[in-house]
Amino acid sequence: MQSDDFIQKAKKSLSSNECMAFFCSCEIKYSGRAEAHLPTGDRIIIIKSDNTILVHQPNGSVPVNYMKEGSSIEIDNKDNHAFIKSYNQKHKDSLQIEIYLIHNFISQRLEDGQKIHLEGSEKDMSDMIYDNPSLISKDFKPLAREEHTKYGFIDVFGYNKKGELVVIECKRYTAGPDAVTQLRRYVEKIKSLRGLKTVHGIIAAPKISPNALKMLDDWGFKFVSVNPPKRLETYKKSQMGLNDF
Amino acid sequence: MQSDDFIQKAKKSLSSNECMAFFCSCEIKYSGRAEAHLPTGDRIIIIKSDNTILVHQPNGSVPVNYMKEGSSIEIDNKDNHAFIKSYNQKHKDSLQIEIYLIHNFISQRLEDGQKIHLEGSEKDMSDMIYDNPSLISKDFKPLAREEHTKYGFIDVFGYNKKGELVVIECKRYTAGPDAVTQLRRYVEKIKSLRGLKTVHGIIAAPKISPNALKMLDDWGFKFVSVNPPKRLETYKKSQMGLNDF
DNA sequence: TACTACATCTCGCAT
DNA sequence: ATGCGAGGTGTAGTA
């Protein structure tokens, strides 16, 4: 495809609020939160109707360059090839794409009012623990979940049989050192806010890393193995289906 | 585009290690680390030669669904429309795309051996501090940077004029509570490993949040304002260029 | 492979 | 707007 042809189509796509995708050989420079340069190669480029720009290499799931929605986009001719310049005032960054060869191009107005519905988040996990406190221990009496205001962002907290406060930090995956320091912060915060000497801390996660477990021991906290909800639900079913053959 | 036509093209694209992109109306289900459902709407779909799948809605910079490289991909006909099934054994997850309408389609073999060159990471920031210790204080004598082995993942550490150890944690952005607990972990680790009573901790970042600053004070650490390197470098130049008009 | 921390992280929610 | 923490986080570096 000729550069002039591409520029005309791309401008039309932008002005009619369409989304476009094209494959091209290009060179890219980014400046803003960092400085980046990507030498010439074949890329997949998407420009959406909200002026989001995504540049993908032929492998991998992460864009090699991008600009977020609300950026300005200019498309010009420079030395007989197309040149895309994008600025984002909010994020103070800019992207420049020098296009040496356009392999193909598609553009279309897209309609999509749907939002993804997701189950199995950490919130769902803390809800599960709140509703099934025996997952932690038979003595645990939950008081509240997802306290985002008074005591910080504590996932679940409650009492043990002695009436002592228990703070639970949930993680959907292997808990690392960060999870333990997070728990430690919350426990200390509650201690100081309520003037208590004894507040228990529990990490609820499927696994915990060795270093994290050592830190947990050092601070007198406990680990309880809990599997997050909704994990693999449909996957397992379809695997069962496959195994029927 | 007819469903049969799409299926044929897509299969050919997969078998010849091409990358493809198309716009379509579709419905998507994901199962694995969570359960997700996305009702029918217009989407942009990319399938790369490494079997990475990306599904984008018309707005926003993040894919609404995806499968990582190395997944299996099957494309079939179901009730007269195309159906894409993808499984990833490693991540134990699966994606199903039911395609009701294909708006367009491009496919191409792409060649790209280039890697992005990026400057301005946290590593670059710790290097800058190591090379310019006066950014921290006129008394700071750096000893090592990026110690990933003996004492943990410490960005920079060194001595003050009294010969006491100083640990520096760099952050490219506003330092929050996490940065302080991270620093605290490193300082305590060094204290215990070396049997020292006095080890200083410093957060080097452009800003620090109020909560983080309070925690820092509580633990006797210090904050030093340091701007990350390479930020806005070319951006500023081009803005200057713009302002010339 | 598991562990650890960075990321042009992005996103949502509360203050 | 900023602060704060989750994410189907992803990715790189290392033991």
In tens, the pLDDT along B176-197 reads 999 999 999 999 999 998 999 9
Cα dist. B158→B127, B129, B169, B195 in Å?
Answer: 13, 11, 12, 16
CA-based nearest residue to B9, from B99, B91, B87: B99
Q: How is B134-166 classified by DSSP, letter by letter?
A: GGT-TT-EEEEEEE-SSSSSEEEEEE-TTS-EE
For residues B92-122, one letter each, b for 16 or more C-beta atoms within 10 angstroms of the residue's C-beta and e for the rest, the string is ebbbbbbbeebbbbbbbebebebeeeeebeb
Establish whether the CB of A152 is closer than 7 Å to any nucleic acid atom in strand D. yes
Best residue in A9, A16, A19 for a mutation probing chain B (most B CBs within 10 Å): A19
* CA A233 to C1' C8, whole Å: 35
Report the 10 Å Cβ neighbour count for A133.
17
The answer, yes or no, to whether residue A244 has pLDDT greater than 50, is no
Res. B206: pLDDT tops 50: yes
Please tell me which residue lies nearest to nucleotide D1, judged from CA to C1'.
Answer: A90
Residue with tokens 């919130």: A123
Domain boundaries, chain A: 3-108, 122-235
- Read off φ and ψ for residue B31, nearest 5 degrees: -140, 135
Mean pLDDT value across residues A213-230: 95
pLDDT of residue B146: 72
Q: Is the pLDDT of residue A154 over 70?
A: yes
Q: Hey, how many other C-beta atoms are within 10 angstroms of the C-beta on B206?
A: 15
Q: What percent of chain A has pLDDT over 70?
A: 92
Amino acid at the residue B199: V
pLDDT at B112 over 90: yes
Token look-up 């340091």 returns B226
- Whether A237 has a pLDDT exceeding 80, the answer reads no
**Hey, are the CB atoms on B110 and A66 less than 8 Å from each other?**
no
Question: What is the arithmetic mean of pLDDT over A225-232?
Answer: 85
Q: How far apart are CA B56 and CA A114, in angstroms?
A: 12
pTM greater than 0.85: yes
Give the A:B interface size as CB pairs under 8 Å. Answer: 222
Q: Do residues A21 and B45 touch, judged by C-beta distance below 8 A?
A: no
Helix B177-194 and helix B210-218: axis angle, to 10°?
20
Strand-strand pairing, A199-205 and A165-170: parallel
Q: Which of A19-23, B51-55, B58-62, B239-243 has the lowest mean pLDDT?
A: B239-243
Q: At residue A242, does pLDDT exceed 90?
A: no
Distance A206 CA to D7 C1' (A): 17
Chain A 177..206 CB hits on strand C (< 7 A): 177-178
DSSP state string for A139-152: T-EEEEEEE-SSSS
In Å, what is the CA distance from B211 to each residue of A157, A201, B16, B236? 22, 21, 55, 32
For residue A214, the model assigns a pLDDT of 96
The pLDDT tens digits of the residues spanning A107-123 come to: 999 999 999 999 999 99
* Cα–Cα distance for residue pair A176/A193, rounded to 1 Å: 26
Residue A245 pLDDT level (bands cut at 50, 70, 90): very low
Neighbours of B234 (CB within 10 A): 18
Q: Choose which CATH entry (3.40.1030.10, 3.30.499.10, 2.70.180.20, 3.40.50.300) describes domain B3-108.
A: 2.70.180.20
Which two structure tokens, joined as six digits, stand for B31?
């199962």
Cα distances from B152 to residues A176, B120, B167, B205, in angstroms, run: 14, 22, 11, 20
Among B110, B111, B174, the strongest candidate for a mutation testing the A interface, having the largest count of A CBs within 10 A, is B110
Which class is domain A122-235? alpha beta
Structure tokens at B26: 């579709």
Predicted confidence at residue A144, as pLDDT, reads 80
Residue nearest to nucleotide D7 (CA to C1'): A121
What is residue A86's predicted lDDT score, i.e. its pLDDT? 97
Q: pLDDT tens digits, residue range A128-137?
A: 999 999 999 9
Does the structure show a pLDDT above 70 at B239? Answer: no
Q: What are the chain A neighbours of B19 within 8 Å (beta carbons)?
A: 23, 44, 58
Q: How far is CA A98 from CA A42, A57, A77, A103, B131, in A?
A: 12, 15, 10, 14, 35
Alpha-carbon distance of A79 to A183, in angstroms, equals: 59
Mean pLDDT calculated for residue range B107-115? 98
Token digits for A78? Answer: 């420079």
Nearest CA in chain B to A36: B118
Report pLDDT digits (tens) over B19-72.
999 999 999 999 999 999 999 999 999 999 999 999 999 999 999 999 999 999
Contacts of B52 in chain A (CB under 8 A): 59-61
CB atoms closer than 10 angstroms to residue A90: 9
Residue among B119, B137, B146, B139 at smallest CA distance from B204: B137
Q: Distance between CA atoms of A171 and A122, rounded to whole angstroms?
A: 7
Residue B236 has a pLDDT of: 67
Distance A63 CA to C9 C1' (A): 12
What is the per-residue DSSP string for chain B? --HHHHHHHHHHHHHTT-EEEEEEEEEEEEESSSEEEEEEEEEEEEE-TT--EEEE-SS-SS-SEEE-TT-EEEEEEETTEEEEEEEETTTTEEEEEEEEEEEEEEEE--------EEE--HHHHHHHHHH-GGGT-TT-EEEEEEE-SSSSSEEEEEE-TTS-EEEEEE-SS-B-HHHHHHHHHHHHHHHHHHT-S-EEEEEEES-B-HHHHHHHHHTT-EEEE-PPTTTTHHHHHHHHHHHT-
Residue B28 Ramachandran class (φ > 0 left, ψ -120 to 50 alpha, else beta):
beta
Give me chain B's average pLDDT, please: 93
pLDDT for position B144: 84
A231 — pLDDT class (breaks 50, 70, 90): confident
Nearest CA distance, B145 vs chain A (angstrom)? 21
Residue B209: CB less than 7 A from any atom in strand D = yes
Q: What is the pLDDT of residues A75-101, one digit of tens each?
A: 999 999 999 999 999 999 999 999 999
Distance A167 CA to D14 C1' (A): 33
Q: What is the mean pLDDT of residues A183-205?
A: 94
